Structure 1
Amino acid sequence: MKKTLAVALALALTATACGSSDEQDDKSEFAENGTFVYAIPADPGELDPANAVLGATNTVLAFAYDTLVYSDADGKIVSGLAEKWEAQADKVTFTLRKGVTCADKSPVTPQTVADSMNYLSDPKNKAALLGVLIPAGMTATADEAAGTVTLATKDPNPFLLESMTAVYVVCGEGLKDRSILKDKTSGTGMYPLFTSVANDHYAFKARADYAWGPGGAKHEAGMPAAVQLKVVKDESTAANMMTTGELNGAQFTGADRKRVEAIPGVRKGSAPDGIGEFFFHQGDGRAAAENKVRGALVRALDLNELRAIASGGDPVPATRLISLAPDPCRGDSVTGNTPPADPGTAATLLDETGWKAGTDGVRTKGGEKLKLRVAYQTSAGPGVQAGMEYIAQKWKALGVETELVGSADAKYADSLFKDGDWDMAWVPLGLSLPTQLVGYLSGPGPDEQGSNFAHIRNPGYEQLTAEAAKKVGASGCEQWTNAEAALVENVDVVPVLRPTQLVASKNAMLEVIGGVVRPTSVRMLKN
């Protein structure tokens, strides 16, 4: 679905997997009744969890809402509103904790949870999470006597349990009237939203009765009494505020990263920031529809050099196609499967496919030049732009003309999904489950109302994912990993790097999982 890809791209811009700003052993004393001030890079906009796709929105919601289960930093599923669960191929039954209440003190019952989930799965409500984290046709059934909620799907869904780590449960007043959720919160979280000023700040106050966080987390020494999320759209401004002590924490990806790392007393950690990878358009009439052409284009590049350039100096290799927590299948599907750098073989492959170099060095076939339109997001930063310029330089030496087209996010998404006006695209797909990849890497393309924007046809991938889909959770990970490897070997997708963000904090400790601060991890420290 086109909406699904747009959501995935939005998530990819700001989401991370996991990271902590407390990388060293800490012997500092906790400070009590403090206020934790954290920077978010954009205004969250509408606060209804049904439409939460931006990282800034999910950061706000994480303080005010809970999920049925959580993922820890290693991808292990731990308790949330549910204290235990039983997963099968087409359903998951959750046993809820007793004594959970909404911020308005109303009880949270199995029917509360069922109503919250059924709202998301009802197509008439047009929830952005439908088709991304909520499978089409999913139903939620409450059993008040047993204290359970059962989520069932029409087709097997091997990672339904894991999907619930990112689906916030609405309760109380907001469940009765969703309209109030545009600028208010109505959840079970530790920090209900207290006041807000759009494009400036969002303020929260702690609940003293909270005792149902991840793994049973409750109030402990050093947890802040209040939280303020400040909208700071410029990283240089955030770096200045870290220096002066106006912020206790922020995440950095750009040129200010090293400056922040040098601030006295700052705590440093890193968090993965999506996957940097590129795709070739394999539609009818496209030069890259032929495997030898794709192989030649990749062999013309040194992926280690590209990785160093595009990452801005933090070249962590990509080893799989999934980047965000819970990331349940952590096998290596990339190493050894990408074509090695070999310009001589690259030239030979293009010769074999009929793309011959002319007197001007440019390759042609049937009177047509080998010219590729390379698309990327300008929001990806100067490193990615420099990486695209590196690619253009190497392909020019091979006899390929390139046109680099950097676009803002919305126009870039339209190019992939609507216009199809590209030949190679740098796509930062930020996904958390192998099942979320299937629609993008197989099946119908955008011209047939599908999401396979690169028009990939890989029988090995299709067979392996069909086999893996019949298994529950991690039991199918071998097939999922082998399926990804089939794509990489066939040069259907070229994973390059796993960029990171700096998670910085001062006078505080925190952990980032799934792209957001985990509220129960925050501890205030004495100066």
Structure 2
Amino acid sequence: MRRQHAAALTALALLAAACGGATNEQAAGGGTFTYAISADPGVLDPAMGVLSVTNTVLSFAYDTLVATGADGKLVPALAEKWTVEPDNVTFTLRKNVTCSDGSPLTPSDVAENVNHIADPATKSPIYGVLLPTGMKAEADDAAGTVTLSMPEPFSFILETTRDLFIVCGKGVKDRSLLAHATSGSGPYQLTEAAPSDHYTFKVRRDYTWGPEGSTAKDLPETVVLKVVPNEQTAANLLVAGSLNGGSFVGPDRSRLEADPRIVKQAIPQGNGQFFYHQGDDRPAHDPAVRKALTQAVDLKELAGIASSGTGKPPTGLVLDPAPCPGDTITGHVPAYDAAAAAAALDAAGWRKGADGVRVKDGERLTLRLLYATTRGAGVQAAAEYLAKAWHEAGAEVKLNGQIDTKLSESLTATQDWDVAWVPITVTLPTQLVGFLSGPAAPKGANFAHLDNKRYESLVAKAGKLPSEQGCPLWLQAESALFEDADLVPVVANTVLQAGKGATYELRGGLFAPTTIRLTEGG
């Protein structure tokens, strides 16, 4: 099965749930909503958007076929209804939907989006992740329908379309227009792009086709997404009233939570965990070494450090509320036992040298630990904690902190790492398969060179079943990864969504722009 190379698993670091707590006094449409994003989104073509910050920006200008409703269930968006078969789903589109250039949205537009991403020449990093490998689209403009089909039955075939932004209008014919502009049917249109500084959107007052009957009537006239890499700076701007919203995971989170003027909600952000590079020339290619290194770490203590005490014990890889609820972790991860870890490394042929570093066949046990510096002080402290634990076990650890975009390159292209702290935030188990199996990087998205036959066998079976029937197999597949210490789950993170002078929601991993309301007295 073909899977396109993806820039990094951080491609799937999407937020979900809601930021509630609306005040009683709400202003009618007008004004400006300013929201902090932590990094520049880069190219704005939805077919190439892999970072969470990119998807946040895109969510203002682009609609999806289905959306997540206030209760967490799928609701109509661009599609007013659909019929689902094991290997296909047919959507009937809403009538009178227009693109930002005034042209009507057609089923052919939708089909072109899907087929463009699936075209090998596109080299789309979301192919095989957000768009299932092998999916094709066929439009019937006269009937107002578009059918997305797979070569064989596929779990969650409907749910996958929730994350697919639909380009329409001029952008369909000329994708080069989308590098720093937008061409969608969403409630906002990008009017100014100042990379690494800000992105300005203007509302489309003719927007009447939002999920659950939402329109642009009460939306702010302008949205400014301001690039603020430093979280402390973002918190200061929010308190001062220069920002209306932002997300916070570091030490500034506690002071915002204590501020009665701030509307806030802690929501799931996904897992913190680390992967072992299993290339043939890496120490962690040996499963005994992976398990020993895992046993050398007190994961409970590490979880508190990584999340600054705000996280929860993880139960799986898919963001809550998971489509397949269940605990895939408990009892499947090697337990903390420093003595057993040392004995296992001895048995694997790694003996301590005079300086305390283990050596095998003349090679020192060296671990290059890769992590993102933009993930907050907790991740930095977690990396230092891992380095200390593995140093005590006899490894030489070299820390390599990088910004997200550079980390993506290191994960997949240069491959200059042995252990990587990589966040996972996905809403469907199918979105993980391309990263956890298949061709290894740089030829594929399998950046850690995983080769877990039990996982591959289970997902192959699960993927052909309807979602609910396949859930037991999806859960078993995750547990197989942990049993082999292919990756080590540490903590289920939460993020503080904080607002001042405004309320808004994030639903199903995406910012929901139709929920923004400016409030008085902020």
What's the TM-score once normalised by structure 2's chain length? 0.90
Asked whether the equivalents of residues 192 and 207 of structure 1 are also in contact (C-alpha less than 8 Å), the reply is yes
State percent identity of aligned pairs. Answer: 50
Counterpart in 1 of 2:15? 16
Query: Which structure 2 residue ranges, 5 or more long, are not aligned?
Result: none
User: Which of 379, 383, 401 is equivalent to 1:384?
Assistant: 379
TM-fit CA distance, 1:266: 0.6
Could you tell me how far apart the structure 2 residues matched to 1:380 and 1:458 are? 29
Structure 2 partner of 1:349: 344
Structure 1, residues 417-452: CA drift from partner, whole Å, max 9, x if none?
A: 3444433222224433322322322233237x2333
Matches within 5 A, 1:266-285: 266-285=262-281
Q: Work out which of the residue numbers 500, 506, 513 in structure 2 matches 1:512.
A: 506
Number of equivalences:
519
* Deviation sequence 1:298-353 (CA, Å, 0-9, x none): 12211011111122232322221234x88533332112321222222223323333
Shift of 1:155: 4.4
Q: Which residue of the partner structure matches residue 169 of structure 1?
A: 166
* Partners of 2:395 and 2:38 in 1: CA distance: 38
Any idea what SS the aligned residue of 2:110 has? helix
Any idea what the Cα deviations from partners look like across 1:347-369, whole Å, max 9, x if unmatched? Answer: 33233333344565444444544
Is this contact kept in 2: 1:80–1:216, CA < 8 A? Answer: no
Residue 522 of structure 1 aligns to a residue whose secondary structure is: strand
Deviations along 1:11-56, one digit per CA (max 9) or x if unpaired, are 43xx323231x2x4x5512211332222222333433322222333
C-alpha change, 1:242 and 1:450, in structure 2 (3 Å) is: closer
Q: Displacement, 1:215?
A: 3.0
Judge conservation of contact 1:371–1:402 (CA < 8 Å) in 2: yes
Q: Report deviation, 1:484.
A: 0.2
Q: Which amino acid aligns with 1:6?
A: A
Corresponding residue to 2:418 among 397, 411, 423: 423
Q: 1:183 aligns with which of 172, 180, 183?
A: 180
Structure 1 stretches lacking a partner, 5+ long? none
Report the 3-state secondary structure (helix = DSSP H, G, I; strand = E; otherwise coil) of the residue aligned with 2:369: strand
Confirm or deny that 1:71 pairs with 2:68: yes
* Cα gap change, 1:193 to 1:487, in 2 (>3 Å): same
- How much does 1:94 deviate? 0.7
Match of 2:7 in 1: 6
Q: In structure 2, how many angstroms separate the alpha carbons of the residues matched to 1:204 and 1:440?
A: 34
Report whether the alignment pairs 1:295 with 2:291.
Answer: yes
Do the aligned partners of 1:271 and 1:512 also contact (CA within 8 Å) in 2? no
* AA matched with 1:311: S
Distance 1:39-1:282 versus aligned 2 partners, 3 A rule: closer
Is 1:277–1:495's contact at 8 Å kept on the other side of the alignment? yes
Partner AA of 1:309 in structure 2 = I
CA contact (8 A) 1:75 1:327 kept: no
What is the CA deviation profile of residues 119-140 of structure 1, one whole-angstrom value per residue up to 9, with x for unaligned ones? Answer: 3333334444333323444322
- Counterpart-to-counterpart distance in 2, 1:187 and 1:105: 10
CA distance in 1 between counterparts of 2:226 and 2:354 reads 59
For residues 191 and 414 of structure 2, what CA distance do their matches in structure 1 show? 44
Deviation at 1:479, TM superposition (A): 0.8
- CA deviation vs aligned residue, 1:195-236 (integer Å, no higher than 9, x gap): 45444433333333323212332356x533433323333323
Structure 1 distance, partners of 2:365, 2:265, is 44
- How far did 1:519 drift? 1.0
SS of the residue aligned with 1:28?
coil
Structure 1 pair 59–436 and aligned structure 2 pair: CA distance change class (3 A): closer
Partner Cα separation in structure 2 for residue 8 and residue 82 of structure 1:
29
Aligned match of 2:488 in 491, 494, 499?
494
The Cα of 1:62 is off from its aligned counterpart by: 1.4
2:456 pairs with one of 450, 462, 465? 462
SS of structure 2 residue aligned to 1:275? strand
Partner of residue 233, structure 2 = 237
- 1:161-189 C-alpha deviation (Å, 9 max, x unpaired): 22211211122233343333333322211
Residue 442 of structure 1, aligned match among 431, 434, 437:
437
My pick for the range that moved more, 382-391 or 400-409, is 400-409
Q: Deviation per CA, 1:430-477, whole angstroms, max 9, x where unpaired?
A: 433322322322233237x23333332322212211110111334312
* One-letter amino acid matched to 2:87: D
Q: In structure 2, how many angstroms separate the alpha carbons of the residues matched to 1:104 and 1:365?
A: 64
Q: Is the 8 A contact 1:223 1:522 kept in 2?
A: yes
TM-score by length of 1: 0.89
CA–CA separation in structure 1 for the residues paired with 2:140 and 2:35: 40
Contact residue 78 and residue 93 of structure 2 kept, 8 A: yes
Work out whether residues 445 and 455 of structure 1, in 8 Å CA contact, stay in contact via their aligned partners in 2: yes
Deviation at 1:98, TM superposition (A): 2.3
Q: 1:204 to 1:373 in 2, by over 3 A?
A: closer
* Distance change (3 Å), C-alpha of 1:247 and 1:416: closer
Question: Which residue in the other structure is 2:369 paired with?
Answer: 374
Residue correspondence of structure 1 range 40-59 to structure 2 within 5 A: 40-59=37-56
Show the counterpart of 2:30. 34
Partner of 1:307: 303
Q: Following TM superposition, by how much is the alpha carbon of 1:67 offset from its aligned partner in structure 2, in angstroms?
A: 0.6
In structure 2, C-alpha distance between the alignment counterparts of 1:102 and 1:68, rounded to whole Å: 14
Query: Distance between the aligned counterparts of 2:187 and 2:439, measured in 1?
Result: 43
In structure 2, do the counterparts of structure 1 residues 346 and 434 end up closer, same or farther at CA, with 3 Å as the change threshold? same
What SS does structure 2 have at the residue aligned with 1:494?
A: strand
